Amino acid sequence: MTAKKRVLIIDDEASFTRLLKLNLHHTGRYTAEAVNDPAQALAVASEFLPDLILLDVMMPCMDGGEVATHIHASAKLKGTPIVFLTAAVKRNEISSHQGRIGGLPFIAKPVDFQEVVDCIEKQLRQSPAAQAKRTDTRCHWR
């Protein structure tokens, strides 16, 4: 049996994160955690050690780009795939942005849950960190 992938959702909308976390859990393929305060995101991510992060772009106090910078600067989290979630780009504008913001993939809000799952799976397959986990057969103790 394959271990469940760990997904961290960082978004200031608590109702959105609750619903997304619940839906990811119900697939049986993911363990999801959510944080609604971007100032706490790095601490939660460092403790949870996600395989992938879903990150809102527009949040109060600290935007998604700042959070992503802090995450990628962390030795524990460097290489963790990040997918931005944004209402700033409409679905029909995705192709003009080539599906990326700041070099990272994004999903337009409101999100389609199957699109989220498909994007998670694609990013996990392409992630160098995920590749290393698949090829490293040594035991790791936390």
Q: Kindly report the CATH number assigned to the domain that includes residue 37.
A: 3.40.50.2300
**Cβ atoms 106, 84 nearer than 8 A:** yes
**Cβ atoms 9, 32 nearer than 8 A:** yes
| Structural domain contains residue 140 | no
pLDDT more than 70, % of the chain: 77
| Structural domain contains residue 27 | yes
- Range(s) of the domain holding residue 51: 5-135
| Structural domain contains residue 37 | yes
φ, ψ dihedrals at 88, nearest 5°: -75, -20
Residues with Cβ within 8 Å of residue 86, at least 6 apart in sequence:
56, 57, 58, 64, 101, 106, 107, 108, 109
| Structural domain contains residue 141 | no
Q: Considering only CA atoms, which of 65, 58, 63, 60 is closest in space to residue 82?
A: 65
Q: What is the pLDDT of residues 22-52, one digit of tens each?
A: 999 999 999 999 999 999 999 999 999 999 9
| Structural domain contains residue 142 | no
Query: In which band, very low, low, confident or very high, does the pLDDT at 87 lie, cut at 50, 70 and 90?
Result: confident
Threshold 0.85, pTM exceeds: no
| Structural domain contains residue 23 | yes
**Cβ atoms 129, 51 nearer than 8 A:** yes
Number of domains in the chain: 1
pLDDT at 89: 56
Which position has the higher pLDDT, 5 or 140?
Answer: 5
